Structure 1
Amino acid sequence: MIRIVDYGVGNIQAFMTMFKRLGLPAERARTPEDLADAQRLILPGVGAFDHAMTLLNQSGMREPLTAMVLDRKVPLLGVCVGMQMLASGSDEGMLPGLNWVPGRVKAFATTAESSKLPMPHMGWNDLELRTNDRLFSDFERDPRFYFLHSYYFEATDRQHVAATATYGLKFDCVVARDHIYGVQCHPEKSHHFGAQLLKNFGEI
């Protein structure tokens, strides 16, 4: 069972629809009890970093989620702000992140390469794959994904960077640390490329 963590932010229904099309069993998780049967976990997120972290902390699911991911090694995919929450923290806010993939979230507006570009970074962009991770099995060359964000993840360990994209500067858009994954793009909105990524994650 794939459980999509529903803590108050994120387009849960879009993931549910995509997994239904793929024939993969997926349900929401609104309580710690809902997480119990999870074999895969999706951590979505939209909006501001601190708001998302606050809602997760208040949901009652952070502690059991941590136990499942770190102790039981249940694969997890963080999406958009859900990816950013995997970092130690964000320049967008003051709260600490989960720190499951060491790194920091930074603003495009503070970099010379991207500060004069329209914000947010919105639309389709190519991924430059850096690894042969199972997340990218059966991918076409130069996959394109939909993005909507003003902040980006900068991984501390470059071995955790699975793919990059370019918006003024080249930024880390997919991270992978063992069974923990994060994608800055929106696979649930990225048509067949997104469907392939979610299918691969469901089969990891």
Structure 2
Amino acid sequence: LPRGKGMASSSADIAAVLAAASHALGQLLAPEAILRLAVQVEPTDAVFMPGIVCLNQVTGRVQRTYHSLSYPQLTIFDTGGTVDTAACHAEAVGQEEHPWVPLLAALAQGERRLAEAATQSARWNQAVLPKDALEALLQEARACGALGLVAAHSGTVVGVIWPSQLAHDAIACRSAQLAQQFPELECLGISLMRDGGIEIL
């Protein structure tokens, strides 16, 4: 994973070290224990938690866990630069609070509602970490058949959310079209949304 982009690279590093060390000692730490330790280092993403998890990245408080979401394909675009996660979260303190509860409930109501919730969250985060191309990319992506956008809250990447019934070749074609329309963005590829968790190989 590229660093400083909001793709949970540091959370993955921290979790991998804790999991590997505890495994080597024969006392594998539970994800909740890793979360408690990780948030003492820095604001932490839930990438190592099973399922899809909504949590407070600073305190480590788990708001909700989802185990049966629709997992759409995403085209990842990078808006450029890097972000210091800790500094970004410190700057967000005191920002306007938003009504998150309806969004949390919407996530479990199908991929279209998931995309709507992700898009609203990305728009709210513009006040903390603006991405210049966000609205224009959203408009063009929807014109291509996308459901919405997801944005890194402490990073530079934006994901275009595609309907699950859309074939990979069609997504690749439409992604290339968007990349042409937005030459200032770097297309990092197409990825399938998936569960979090730790795998010991």
Q: Which range, TM-score by smaller chain?
A: under 0.3
Instruction: State the TM-score, normalized to the length of structure 1.
Output: 0.27
Instruction: Give TM-score scaled by structure 2 length.
Output: 0.27
- The structure that is strand-richer by fraction is 1
- Higher relative CO (CA 8 A, sep ≥ 6), structure 1 or 2? 2
1 or 2, which has the higher helix percentage?
2
